[in-house]
Amino acid sequence: MTGSLRVAVARGTSAALIVVAILVATAPLAAHGVTGKDAVFLQGLDGAAIGPLMYLGAKHMVTGYDHLLFLCGVIFFLYRVTDVLLYVSLFTLGHSATLLLGVLGGIQANPFLIDAVIGFSVVYKAFENMDGFRRVLPFQPDSRVVVFVFGLFHGFGLATKLQEFELSPTGLIANILSFNVGVEIGQGLALGTILIALSYWRTHQGFVRHAFATNAIVMACGFLLVGYQLSGYVLGV
């Protein structure tokens, strides 16, 4: 490896670690929670508000880096559009079901534990992308089933944040459906951006060379998310 290449790799790794550090540092503010004016709006909502709820859903997904890290891992090695659509559809089906059931059906769970599973989903997908199962275990779980199951937890994570508010029953179904549609819009926008970036990166030799290290960083980020959520559960903060 030439000196200039070593410098480039070192700079790339340092930049990635800085990004991870920023994400972890801002975890209490940006992970899932609905705060500020959005929280005030939800708390005082009485009746259908389709447009605002769609906006909140899209905003929640675009700023939900744990969701995006998982989805990035899901599509990291998917080259065909049909495969991307299949896996994203499975994830969408899963998180839509538990979002609606959690809020409308009143199904509850500890949000810290649900978010810890969401963090673990990031770890799992990165491990799979690093070919961890073939290296360590004698079997490979069906990725389609895994994405759907983790989608259930991701949707439940969204539901636990809405359950923090005493939402008015007037227009509740329309509002939750609107929020879910907004989540899909935000997911589509974020995935489109990620796909463009990945497609560009794949045209360079550095993609194959740095794919393992990139997923290792994503896995480390997932472990940090798990640790943060479990510490919140133990300490009761």
Q: What pLDDT was estimated at residue 9? A: 41
* Per-residue pLDDT tens over the stretch 104-153: 888 888 999 999 999 999 999 999 999 998 888 777 899 999 999 999 99
Q: What is the pLDDT of residues 6-45, one digit of tens each?
A: 444 444 444 444 444 444 444 443 445 666 677 777 777 7
Count of alpha carbons within 13 angstroms of residue 91, beta-carbon side? 25
Interior/surface letters 177-208, b for 16+ CB within 10 angstroms, e for the rest: bbbbbbbbbbbeebbeebeeebeeeeeeeeee
**Residue 13 to residue 36: CA distance in whole angstroms:** 34
Share of residues in the chain with pLDDT > 90 (%): 56
Backbone conformation region of residue 144, classed left if phi is above 0, alpha if psi is from -120 to 50, else beta? alpha
Q: What is the pLDDT of residue 32?
A: 54
What backbone torsions phi and psi does residue 236 show, to the nearest 5 degrees? Answer: 70, 35
- Mean pLDDT confidence for 196-223: 92
Q: Is 98 helix (H, G, I), strand (E, B) or coil?
A: helix
Q: With 90 as the cut, is the pLDDT of residue 206 above it? A: no
Pair of tokens at residue 83: 């495969």
CB-CB contact of 144 with 91 (8 Å): no
**pLDDT value of residue 30:** 42
pTM of the model: 0.83
The whole-chain average pLDDT of the chain stands at 84
Spatial CA neighbour of 111 closest among 235, 234, 229: 229
